[in-house]
Amino acid sequence: MNRSADSGAWYRPWAPALWLMAVLEVTGTAGCKPERPDGDSAPIAKETQDTQAANIDRLRSLPYVGFSSQKADEGESGVVRFDAQRSCPGYNLYSSHKLCSASLIDARGEVIRFWEHPGRHWTNCRLLPNGDLLVVGRDRIDDDRAMADDVGRFVLRLSWEGRVLWKKTIPAHHDAEWTPDGGILTFVTRRRRSAAISLNVDIRDNELTLLSADGQVVDHCSLLDVCGARPDLFTFQPVAPKTRQWIIDLFHCNSVEWIRRPDLEPRHPIYASGNVLICSRHQDTIAVIDWDKKELVWAWGQGEISGPHDATLLDSGNILLFDNGLGRGWSRVIELDPLTETIVWEYRAPEPTDFYTKSRGSSQRLANGNTLIANSDNGQAFEVTPDGEIVWEFLSPHVNAEGYRGTIVRMKRYPLSYVDSIIEQHEGADRDAARP
């Protein structure tokens, strides 16, 4: 990350031109010579669409790494930048992929609570209002066929103190959302065949699956069926099979959010209560699904974003999204007006290629208008102002024996009142238990 204080955020009514530039760079469209992202006007060498598509498929298929590819600077970890006047107050929760752990830290990096449970990896985790931790992860699996069948995946609920409350072995992946009525919504994989996609290769379908508060399956719907039923809104883009497992990972969804905005409902059906916002990395798509009707309501992204993560609905009705930029070589965070399908805000590094994570990544709009970003593969998280100035920066303190920094799956900031209430609940319970 370039530590310059120069702005990396652009408010640009001419954003569509940049969309086209990014698309041309990815696809290598004949006869066009887009500029490099660093502003160098030298033409980019033309590549065929097939070569570019193969390169993007290769990037999609890369495994999630547990440690960054560059060694950590000695003595530089934890909070390395903090502007207390401009940073948004709160506690930060982040999970470490291969370490199967999560840490809750304050603004200065002090650990407030730490959770761990053995396994192959953890993906996202969420802190519930009572202090429980909801985790999506996987046990250790070495067999290729079992990997392809998603054996060993689970949803786990830990107490504030770290006790296992329950563990549901189910092929869940990436994310789990706490629903308004106390359920848990997650993605579950299922092998299927579809003549519309491939005649001789299995497809890994993603099913939105609703669990009860204690982990029992209540309901589900297939994204293959939901998206396939609306060719007017959604077109499947091709995904190459994973070579060793010989399965097409068609969706690879990574975030799910239950829409809870009755104040926005009069504006458009996209905001209706009971709708669900999802993000699909392999389809380069964010979409809204009517959960009750099991119908696709809205979809956007193909040709505009590449390998995205972590779509969230903002108070304004816009959607914040992490765009990894596979095939482009640099990442960005964008804010999209879904009604006009216009990018109204963007963060990229002053030197764009200084901010790039091939996998994972997260972004969160904070109460003061700043944005918290996880540069996952590099073990970094940082907070930027609307103008793109970094006012808080964190480097994972987890370093392996070879000196490589642990990656961060995502980071989420919780308000002071949210976590302080949890701490008070448990301190009060401890005091009551200690009384004779």
Q: What pLDDT is recorded for position 289?
A: 98
Residue 1 lies in a domain: no
Q: What pLDDT is recorded for position 272?
A: 96
Q: What pLDDT is recorded for position 11?
A: 33
Residue 435 lies in a domain: no
Task: Please state, in angstroms and rounded to a whole number, the distance separating the CA atoms of residues 413 and 417.
Answer: 12
Q: What pLDDT is recorded for position 6?
A: 37
Task: Please state, in angstroms and rounded to a whole number, the distance separating the CA atoms of residues 210 and 217.
Answer: 6
Residue 259: Cβ within 10 Å count: 20
Residue 436 lies in a domain: no
Residue 3 lies in a domain: no
Residue 382 lies in a domain: yes
Per-residue pLDDT of the chain (436 residues; tens, 9 = 90+): 333 333 444 333 333 333 333 333 333 333 333 333 343 334 434 456 555 566 655 555 554 556 566 776 777 899 999 999 999 999 999 999 888 999 999 999 999 999 999 999 899 999 999 999 999 999 987 766 666 678 899 999 999 999 999 999 999 999 999 999 999 999 999 999 998 898 789 999 999 999 999 999 999 999 999 999 999 999 999 999 876 668 999 999 999 999 999 999 999 999 999 999 999 999 999 999 999 999 999 999 999 999 999 999 999 999 999 999 998 999 999 999 999 999 999 999 999 999 999 888 999 999 999 999 999 999 999 999 999 999 999 999 988 888 888 899 999 999 999 999 999 999 877 656 655 6
pTM for the model: 0.83
Residue 63 lies in a domain: yes
Exposure string over 345-361, b if 16+ CB within 10 A, otherwise e: bbbbbbbbbbbbbbbbb
Residue 338 lies in a domain: yes
* Sheet containing strand 342-347, strands side by side: 9-10, 342-347, 332-337, 319-323, 309-313
Q: What pLDDT is recorded for position 216?
A: 94
Residue 4 lies in a domain: no
326 burial (CB, 10 Å; 0-12 / 13-18 / 19+) is buried
Residue range of the domain that includes 205: 9-430
Task: Please state, in angstroms and rounded to a whole number, the distance separating the CA atoms of residues 291 and 276.
Answer: 6
Three-class SS state of 216: coil
CATH code of residue 147: 2.120.10.30
SS3 labels along 332-387: EEEEEECCCCEEEEEECCCCHHHCCCCCCCEEEECCCCCEEEEEHHHCEEEEECCC
Contacts of 397 by beta carbon, 8 Å cutoff, 6+ apart: 77, 78, 109
Number of domains in the chain: 1
Give me the phi and psi of 17, to 5 degrees please: -65, -40
Q: What pLDDT is recorded for position 198?
A: 85
Give residue for tokens 């829409």: 259
Q: Which amino acid is at 419?
A: V
Inter-residue contact 388 to 354 (CB < 8 Å): no
